[in-house]
Amino acid sequence: MGRLGLRPRYGHLPHRRRQRGLPDQWIRPLSDSPVRRCDPRRARHVSLCAARNADRPGGLGGGLALAPARRRDPGRARAAGTRFCQRALRQPLLPRHAPAPRCRAGARGPGRSPVASGMMAVVRLFSRIVLRPGPSLLVLGAAILASNWVWYGSGIFLGQPAGLVLTIAGLLGFGYAAYGLVRGRHQLRALSIFIVAAVLLPALALIALRSTTGVRLWHWYVNQPLDSSLFHYVYSPLTFLLGVPFFVASRLLAIPFDFRSVLILAALAAAGGLLGLPWRWELRYVAFAALFLNPFFYFPQGRNDILFLAPLTLGVLAWARGKPRLAALAFGVAFALKPFAIFFLPCVAIALWPRSGPLLDRVRRLAMLGAALLAPAALTMGPFLLWNAPAYWTDTVSFVAGTIPGAYRIQGYSLASLLLALHLIPSADARFPFGLVQAAVAAPVLAVGLWRIWRAPSLASVLAVGTLALALSLLAARFVNDNYLADLLYLTVLAGAARQASAATIATSRPIPAAA
């Protein structure tokens, strides 16, 4: 901002101090006529003035306006009856949205530790790779093509001819997606075609092969010795109940049932939610790529992560569209499908907590919020808990936490694998209370994050805090599968895209009303 008359609390200053100016501040105007002739993404010194109010001093007139800088004549004194647009502003100006000072990528600010500087460098590198359409398509597209070549092109499951056809289709889809980016038109359509060629076609081919030949593909439980997971149902009840209507319909139609058809429908719902977000196409593009081009999801294999990511994505859509109750219900459904969403529930509750209105009205809104968050889990888990609570707890909690004999083996990319490699844990079947470690690392982060959400509630902060708490909890768990890393990548990209979308909304919003 220019220094033209920016003096907060102007009327409370002594007369001889009213001419004091403030140092320049940076703002980021987007698509405003005074600065349209320059690059809109670059910050510039722009003067602010208040709206004219006839010939008399008055309020801000409902907002602020950008205007070209006015040069003051040093030889002419300011008249006593100067119009308000040439005088100091009397109201506080943008107190909550002051941008942080910029620094270079390799510079370390005063008082910042090397660890904090390293984390900022990692975050900046991550943003430049996966939060931009071009690099995200290059990295994730190459990853999914390499994965398809290993699983299909080699002819392990579908045979050499079919695998070669799927590989060529993926390459053509990648070329068309890259061409759409270079051309600058129909980018999301081109990416959708690439996803159909690289993800949907292999899934349909595997479903068709299994339904026509009866071959069991990628069923890891045929290994010897038998995995202990065969004797425990570790998923939430809604994961099983969701496929029952499709199973009944397939029996009535006399067609083979494959649970991957349910996953395909959930993926289509998630895709529709991403396309319906009121964000720039670049942000929807990177979220689309992170969800469908990540080979760690093993979507054709039948991993069910998409079942909880789909309602979570629809909850983000409802929040962005201004429907908080529907968003809370979607987050509740996500928790009923997979416990990973439990870290988002308190964040949503704090962000949507009623803060104004009569007491009875606030209690009513709070009750509706709690019902939306907890009713899906209560309705689907409650009957099984009433039926046999110890068995339900053993299957869904104790078995994966490693607190019972014959628990899930230590494997993956977690702290437990590191302790096992260092021989601090005797064997992969050893019992260890990793749940306490998870609570110790996730609870402080969640507490600090909830305090920040209470001070400044937003969708971006809800996604960021929930994703960070989930990441720390998973990394301290007994096992971390590849698809868990895929979940974290998508949620991180979604949180970063939501943050950029909120920043763009603030920058391009209408003039801010004057404070009373």
Counted domains in the chain: 1
Q: Is residue 121 part of a domain?
A: no
- Helix axis angle for 359-393 and 324-337, nearest 10°, is 10
Q: Which of 186-190, 409-413, 463-467 has the lowest mean pLDDT?
A: 409-413
* Cross-strand pairs, 479: 411
* Cross-strand pairs, 67: 47
Q: Is residue 51 part of a domain?
A: yes
Q: Is residue 420 part of a domain?
A: no
> Residue range 111-136: average pLDDT?
80
Q: Is residue 91 part of a domain?
A: yes
Which structural domain range is residue 68 located in? Answer: 1-72+85-95
- Per residue in 62-98, is it b (16+ CB within 10 Å) or e — as a string? eebeebeeeeeeeeeeeeeeebbbebbbbbebeeeee
Q: Is residue 18 part of a domain?
A: yes
**Residue of higher predicted confidence among 42 and 466:** 466
**Neighbouring C-beta atoms of residue 444, cutoff 10 Å:** 12
- Residues 269-319 pLDDT 10s: 999 999 999 999 999 999 999 999 988 876 666 678 899 999 999 999 999
Q: Is residue 61 part of a domain?
A: yes
Q: How confident is the model at residue 215 (pLDDT cuts 50, 70, 90)?
A: low
The number of residues in the chain equals: 516
Q: How confident is the model at residue 204 (pLDDT cuts 50, 70, 90)?
A: confident
436, two tokens: 């306490």
**Residue of higher predicted confidence among 505 and 381:** 381
Q: Is residue 14 part of a domain?
A: yes
- Residues 363-372 pLDDT 10s: 999 999 999 9
Secondary element (H or E) of residue 16: none
Express as a percent the part of the chain with pLDDT over 70. Answer: 71
Q: Is residue 46 part of a domain?
A: yes
